Amino acid sequence: MVNARHKLAILGAIVTGLFLAGCTANAPAPAPETTQEETPAEVTDRVEDSEPKDKTVEPDEEVMSSMTCVPLDDAQLEKLRLFGLFERGVTVEVLQEENETWWVLVADSAGEDGDSWTRSAYLTNGLDQAPAEERYRSGTWIELDERDPWENVDWDEERLVRAQSALTLAEQTLGELP
């Protein structure tokens, strides 16, 4: 009997403890209390533009007038074969700094119908990096995408304007070639 009384006493203590804690078998657990520390702070210093930023880089007519567009000869076009079979092409110097010159190179491949052209454009520092026979295999060559040519170019605004001016001049000149 003592043993049964002992078990009942333990069971009674557990039930009393649960009752005092506010727990019952069928009731949901109480919601945890939130303190000021647990409440997330509202972010007020972050401002989002309602419109996406325009990443378009516009050419500068004055810069373009100071640039020279040089057509590629047959030997140069032949060396470009590792990029494609180009029929015509031009280069424009973008800028020279710290013993490095950057160029825009734009070249066209003839379409299958003979009347259309497929255009490729590159930003490169490889045109003066090595002896003439190795120029098209050295340096950095960044293919310029038609939709966003400067997507892979990490330059400041002034350099990008020069690069866009060179690209625009090269494309205009190439369009005038037979």
Looking at residue 57, its pLDDT comes to 92
Looking at residue 72, its pLDDT comes to 93
145: in domain = yes
103: in domain = yes
1: in domain = no
Domain interval for residue 136: 61-176
Looking at residue 12, its pLDDT comes to 57
pLDDT per residue of the chain (178 residues) written in tens, 0 to 9: 555 555 555 655 564 555 545 544 454 555 555 555 544 434 333 334 334 445 689 999 999 999 999 999 998 888 888 888 899 999 999 999 888 899 999 999 887 776 777 899 999 998 875 555 666 667 888 999 989 999 999 999 999 999 999 999 999 999 887 6
7: in domain = no
Tokens of 37: 């520390």
Looking at residue 155, its pLDDT comes to 94
Q: What are phi and psi of 102, to 5 degrees?
A: -110, 140
146: in domain = yes
Split into its structural domains, the chain has a count of 1
Looking at residue 45, its pLDDT comes to 38
34: in domain = no
24: in domain = no
- CA quadruple 125, 127, 128, 134: dihedral sign: positive
Beta bridge partners of 109: 118
Q: How far apart are CA 122 and CA 142, in angstroms?
A: 5
